[in-house]
Amino acid sequence: MKNQTINLLEKAQNITEYWSPKVVGEVDDCYVKIAKVKGEFTWHDHEEDEFFMVLEGELTIAMKAESVSLKQGEIYVVPKGVLHKPVAEHECTIMLFEKKTTLHTGQVKSDLTKDISQQL
């Protein structure tokens, strides 16, 4: 396989829709995704851990017990089963690591839900 580098910020320039992650790579049984986000997402949880990294901007991950605020270059892993809602007051670019079987909004269906075909 040919060596290939991926510039996440360059890839993010092509994203025009908020809360619509795009797969940019694979690591074993996980997808590496990037997304632009702004406003509030849907309350949801997953059967797997979910890794967030802020590439640009700031992101708050609201959870029932607490909220975590992330700035550029910071990461947070939402443990499986924890109800959470990402929020970005201003446009924010994030990277996600998720198992290939992870559903975008878990078992919750909303207008923001994207299936994997929309993320590839």
Q: What is the distance between the alpha carbons of residues 30 and 108, in angstroms, rounded to a whole number? A: 21
The half-sphere exposure of 4 on its side-chain side, counting CA atoms within 13 A, is 7
| End-to-end Cα separation, the chain, in angstroms | 20
pLDDT category of residue 26 using cuts at 50, 70 and 90: very high
pLDDT at 40 over 60: yes
H helix or E strand, kind and range, residue 118:
helix 116-119
- According to the model, what pLDDT value does residue 1 have? 43
Tell me if 38 sits within 8 A of 45, measured CB to CB: no
Cβ atoms within 10 Å of 45's Cβ, excluding its own: 18
Answer yes or no: is pLDDT of 84 > 90. yes
How much of the chain exceeds pLDDT 70, in percent?
Answer: 98
Residue 2 pLDDT: 61
Question: CATH for 8-106?
Answer: 2.60.120.10
pLDDT value for 120: 77
Give the chain's mean pLDDT: 91
